[in-house]
Amino acid sequence: MRAAVFAAAGQPLDVKDVPDPVPGPGQVLLHVSACGVCRTDLHIVDGELAEAKLPLVPGHQIVGTILGLGKGVTGFAPGDRVGVPWLGATCGTCEYCLTGRENLCGQARFTGYHLDGGFAELATVDARFCFPLPADFTDLLAAPLLCAGLIGFRALRMAGSARRLGFYGFGSAAHILAQVARFQGREVLAFTRPGDEGAKSFALRIGASWAGDSTAAPPEPLDAAIVFASEGSLVPRALRAVARGGTVICAGIHMSDIPSFPYRDLWEERVVRSVANLTRRDAEEFLPLAARIPVRTEVEVYPLDRVNDALSRLRSGELNGSVVIEPTR
């Protein structure tokens, strides 16, 4: 099969022929039809997440059709269409796994990081971490739901009953979550890179009631803020933007260091918390909700041979919406 292989930080992915994978016990073999590109992929190939398996096929927002079943797999059949997210395996027996917090399992393994992912024509994945996809979504439009959507949804749940939400960074996750928040009757305010008028226009078109620079104060205090961007300096800014008792949620897997800030910015029961990965329950709840709304993802599509161009496009920060690789395009 053709696959994009990551060998060392700072080097472009090498698109080449590699042996076809064979499903082991508990795994399924997928024909990959689409795989979303995530900022976490950039953190991996840039060496900011340094525990990647090498060599590695990145990509963790996989949409594919099952071609074969490994020993012991039940509940799926060849021809089924499934989605595969970032969380690729857990131990299933630790305290976290047994109490609904498998996202914190110390032995968790992640797709496109510890396990080969979807920047390839074929992939083998743990059947326990595959999810049927709503028929309403095409393969290309479903792919961003599997990380941008799922981890964003987990962050949104951490906002509790907050009605006025600020999204810092309006990219793939935010453009999905804005639609969910609006469906739930919440107000969304978008904070974008200074001077990025295109991102502001995009946010307003998607449903934000206000859009401004990330350095600006909102017109009214926020009930909660979700920081999707990986810039740690946004956290103190978000704290100053939330009302008393408000929450700032850091939704990225990697973030630059948060600078020191005065205690008064945290005082009055403001909260800072992080989101770590996702659980299968998140997928089971979010995917049907996305179909019911319905969420409409906006994607730029690249063939596998141009995967490095896709990464560069995401790195530029000029993208509105999501990037998706179509391996057999």
Q: Could you tell me the end-to-end alpha-carbon distance of the chain, in angstroms, rounded to an integer?
A: 14
Question: pLDDT confidence of 267, banded at 50, 70, 90?
Answer: very high
- Taking alpha carbons only, the member of 26, 30, 157, 144 closest to residue 82 is 30
Q: Fill in the DSSP letter of residue 111.
A: B
Q: Which amino acid belongs to residue 164?
A: R
Contacts of 9 (CB under 8 A, 6+ apart): 45, 46, 47, 50
Domains and CATH numbers, the chain: 2-146+278-326 (3.90.180.10), 150-274 (3.40.50.720)
Are 255 and 230 a contacting pair, CB within 8 Å?
yes
Query: What pLDDT, in 10s, does the model give residues 20-65?
Result: 999 999 999 999 999 999 999 999 999 999 899 999 999 999 999 9
| pLDDT score for 329 | 57
Query: What pLDDT, in 10s, does the model give residues 201-214?
Result: 999 999 999 999 99
Distance between CA atoms of residues 157 and 171, nearest Å: 19
Tokens coding 157: 């749940």
Q: Which amino acid belongs to residue 309?
A: D
Q: Fill in the DSSP letter of residue 268.
A: T
| pLDDT score for 118 | 98
**Cα–Cα separations (whole angstroms), residue 41 to 31, 58, 226, 230, 269:** 21, 7, 20, 13, 35
Contacts of 218 (CB under 8 A, 6+ apart): 166, 189, 191, 210, 212, 241
Are 91 and 59 a contacting pair, CB within 8 Å?
no
Distance between CA atoms of residues 203 and 317, nearest Å: 14
Question: pLDDT confidence of 318, banded at 50, 70, 90?
Answer: confident
- For the ranges 7-11, 128-132, 170-174, 314-318, the lowest mean pLDDT is seen at 314-318
**Cα–Cα separations (whole angstroms), residue 115 to 3, 52, 69, 87, 147:** 14, 9, 18, 10, 16
Give the number of residues written for the chain: 329
pTM above 0.85, yes or no: yes
Query: Percentage of the chain with pLDDT > 70?
Result: 100
Burial of 269 (0-12, 13-18, 19+ CB in 10 A): exposed
| pLDDT score for 252 | 87
Burial of 19 (0-12, 13-18, 19+ CB in 10 A): exposed
